[in-house]
Amino acid sequence: MTTTTNAEVPAPRNPQPTAPASTPMELALQEIEAVNSVAGDNPIKIGILSPMSRPGDAMAGVLVSRGARLGAEYLREHGGVLGGRNVSFIAYNDMATAAEEGFPRSAVAGMAKLAMVDEVLAVLGQWHLRTTPWVAEMCEKIGVPMFVENGHSTVTHGRRTIFRTYFSIADRVPLMMDCLADIGARRIGMIAPDTVFGKTMADTLQQYGESRHGMEFLRFDFEQEVALDWREQLRQIKQWQPDAFINGGLNVVAGGGPVGNSYHILQQAIEIGLLPAVPMMVTFGFPMRSQDYWRMAGAGGNGVMWPATKFRPSWSEMTPIGRWFTDRFMQRYGFAPPDTCLSAFTDVTIIGQALQVAGTDSREGLLDALESTEFDTWRGPLRFERGAEHWHHNPPELVVMQYQTVGQTFDDAAIIYPPALADSKFRPSTVDGELP
């Protein structure tokens, strides 16, 4: 059952944090300037094309820029590339004209400037599924290597110029639904936005759950740029008595603001009594920023589950390059690195290694090296192949994590699925948020 709500009613009554002192655009550009101020003469120019303002997920641009900055620092501190040259970045907000022209036109305009005017060697940072296919097609036509940071399941397929080290929707959905099936969930309540990512994620979850596990769904879709209140839909889900609830909210909210609708939905689910009694799974790793998560969710958010890269700061299997990144990130920013930062760091360091192999700063030489070389990454050797399932896409190993104690950090979160990688069993929450 799927319905759509267009309600525009007052925002949640829960207190919200004050707006940050700097805008996401300013924060992202500070990271870029920190790299460029020490890049020296004749740097290797890499483009960053990410959302840095509304109507996109502006914090994605900040996270990409932070990861990219650390990638440039790693290369510089380890001898540079092509005879000691450093990396510099040219960054554009792919939402610059999105409100007037739409997402695709705005992003493609930024890509055109990077490729044709700035003549960057490669590009990274594409986040929204509403921009990536058009930007990828342009890269393919003009021969610019690009690394994608989002979950579009097929964007690399059949393309010579597009690469990804992040995981896709198709990678995470079986893990999520198999995990819910494993804990006995058969009736699934779900709320999802009408964005390309939100709808594709919800459709794929529902299709897999129905076909593989015979699950039933009560699903409500909402207009991303309109809805602010989900209480009625949450009450209907509660009355339906689901075994699990999937919160498909994202990092943005209608009208703007520092708190995404993922948190608004969570807070309202607690308010009406759906949580924490019903297990909740979210579709991406926003709980990994544990300080923000507990400030916004409180005890009622305990027990949350999310799909994640098999990574945490204390992971004993991390390679030296991964340990360098993790230590530097935590020293600078004071919290564990989100996987978006890890992905951007990996992409920049792979570009540097590929250039060393290519022995030239041409796009064609870089593409040849990307296809023929094994790269040193935080999770071990990585290679891009033209596989039927993962063409130019080498995703990390995935797990489902769960917070099982109020105030738990990301580094201490339990891994509950798959069984071969789990360090704890799933633990259901109680009405006060504590786990038995």
pLDDT tens-digit readout, 168-210: 999 999 999 999 999 999 999 999 999 999 999 999 999 999 9
- Give the whole-angstrom CA distance, residue 310 versus residue 397: 6
Q: What is the mean pLDDT of residues 342-370?
A: 98
CA 30 to chain centre: 21
Of the pLDDT bands very low, low, confident and very high (cuts 50, 70, 90), residue 23 is: very high
Neighbours of 363 (CB within 10 A): 20
- Give the whole-angstrom CA distance, residue 239 versus residue 234: 9
Residue type, 285: G
CATH class of the domain comprising 2-15+170-312+398-417 = alpha beta
Q: What is the mean pLDDT of residues 245-252?
A: 93
* Residue 263 neighbours by CB under 8 Å, 6+ apart: 249, 286, 296, 297
Q: Please provide residue 122's backbone torsions phi and psi, each rounded to the nearest 5 degrees.
A: -155, 170
Residue 333: its pLDDT value, please? 95
Residue 3: its pLDDT value, please? 44
Q: What is the mean pLDDT of residues 224-240?
A: 96
User: For residue 245, what are the β-bridge partners?
Assistant: 189, 280
> Is 259 within 8 Å of 296 (Cβ atoms)?
yes
Would you say residue 436 has pLDDT above 60? no
- Give the whole-angstrom CA distance, residue 174 versus residue 180: 10
Write the burial class of residue 71 (CB in 10 Å: 0-12 exposed, 13-18 middle, 19+ buried).
Answer: buried
Residue 393 three-state SS: strand
The H or E element containing residue 266 is helix 261-271
CA 240 to chain centre: 31
Residue 430: its pLDDT value, please? 64
Q: Model confidence over 35-58: pLDDT tens digits?
A: 999 999 999 999 999 999 999 999
Render 86-147 in DSSP notation, one character per residue.
PEEEEEEETTTTHHHH-HHHHHHHHHHIIIIIS--SEEEEE--TTTHHHHHHHHHHHT--EE
Of the pLDDT bands very low, low, confident and very high (cuts 50, 70, 90), residue 159 is: very high
CATH 3.40.50.2300 domain extents, the chain: 2-15+170-312+398-417, 24-169+316-382
Q: Model confidence over 77-126: pLDDT tens digits?
A: 999 999 999 999 999 999 999 999 999 999 999 999 999 999 999 999 99
Residue 157: its pLDDT value, please? 95
DSSP assigned state of 423: S
Q: Residue 283 — left, alpha, or beta (φ > 0 → left; ψ -120 to 50 → alpha)?
A: alpha
Would you say residue 255 has pLDDT above 90? no
CATH class of the domain comprising 24-169+316-382 = alpha beta
Of the pLDDT bands very low, low, confident and very high (cuts 50, 70, 90), residue 21 is: very low
| Average confidence score pLDDT of the chain | 92
Share of the chain above pLDDT 90, in %: 86
Token readout for 245 is 């609830």
Residue 354: its pLDDT value, please? 98
> Is 179 within 8 Å of 205 (Cβ atoms)?
no
Would you say residue 252 has pLDDT above 90? no
Share of the chain above pLDDT 70, in %: 93
Q: Model confidence over 371-422: pLDDT tens digits?
A: 999 999 999 999 999 988 899 999 999 999 999 999 999 999 999 999 999 9
Q: What is the mean pLDDT of residues 245-268?
A: 87
